[in-house]
Amino acid sequence: MNVSLRQSVSHQIRKYPYLRYILKTAKRKLDEKKYGDLYYRNTLQELNDINIDLIPRKLKRPQGSLIEITNACNLNCLMCNTKLSTRPASLMLPEVFERIIKQLKVSGINTAGLHTVGETFVYKDLDILLGIAEKHNFRVWISTNAQFPECIEPLFRKFPKTFNDLRISIDGATRKTFEEIRVGGSFDKVIETLDVVKKLNEGKKFFKIDVS
């Protein structure tokens, strides 16, 4: 078997992320004496028939980001077990948040999720951060465990263009399942949160909601 041609096939596949799975299969088959030559010819033909110009190339920079404004959380979910963390619970200073946003915008990034470990609504002065984001025309989305329904409407009324992408983590369709996984959480609060968003939408699509 022509080694240089085999390497050429590998090189073509490596250039495009969407074709990497072909490389794994091709390598396995090419090592099988019985099917190697036939599979090699078929694979090469398939590659030649693909219009690679239609396949999106890997972007040179990220399109979004995540900002951990707090690592504090009001729950102790089974998959996180935040109570075992040795990091002191803290809140990001507004001036640090603004500096991060400015740096992201210089890099061409105009959106961020306010989420990593902590619960976003634990941040008592969240309106200050949303005001900073709005001032810089920076889009944010918020991830929440849906235990703070009373916070949603005031923030939406104040920042309707900035606070309109809410991602709710539930992990249970029944009270029993939810409260066993989301230790310390209230299933009633989840329902109340969804009711608040439904009320604010008033039949229109103000809020983008993702549920996980």
CATH class of 82-211: alpha beta
Q: Where are the domains positioned within the chain? A: 3-54, 82-211
User: Which residue type sits at 172?
Assistant: G
Q: What CA–CA distance (Å, rounded) separates 142 from 168?
A: 8
pLDDT score at 137: 94
> Which residues partner with 91 through β-bridges?
70
The reported pLDDT for the residue numbered 187 is: 96
Split the chain (212 residues) into runs of 10 and give each run's mean pLDDT: 57 58 62 61 72 63 89 89 83 96 93 91 96 95 94 93 88 90 94 91 72 64
pLDDT digits (tens, 9 = 90+) for 116-158: 889 999 999 999 999 999 999 999 999 999 999 999 999 999 9
122, 74 contact by CB (below 8 A): yes
- Token pair belonging to 52: 């690679």
CA-nearest of 125, 130, 52 to 98 is 130
